Amino acid sequence: MDDVTVRREFDWSETPPSIAIVVTIAEIENVDPIDLPTTVGTTLYSYVDPGALDALVDGERVAVSFSMAGYRVRIDGTELTVAAE
């Protein structure tokens, strides 16, 4: 994967972070989000607890980052950044 970086703004009350991450990585991989675990060989849950992540990122003043399946995921306020590692 070349230098791919995707940045998007979200309203976390409308789109939970766990869903936004999966959808964004699926778009980069050019697959349906339901097929992402097969494509990248893992799930979000293998890296973070999706429910805990969604609960943590319920405001605009939070920053979280972690690696998942060859991507660096960062949430900073309402911005999600996914970058190929």
Q: What is the mean pLDDT of the chain?
A: 94
Alpha-carbon torsion (75, 77, 80, 81), positive or negative: negative
Pick 1 or 84 by higher pLDDT.
84
What is the average per-residue pLDDT within 64-69? 96
pLDDT digits (tens, 9 = 90+) for 16-57: 999 999 999 999 999 999 999 999 999 999 999 999 999 999
What is the average per-residue pLDDT within 65-71? 96
* Nearest to 17, CA basis, from 45, 48, 50, 39: 50
Per-residue pLDDT at 58? 80
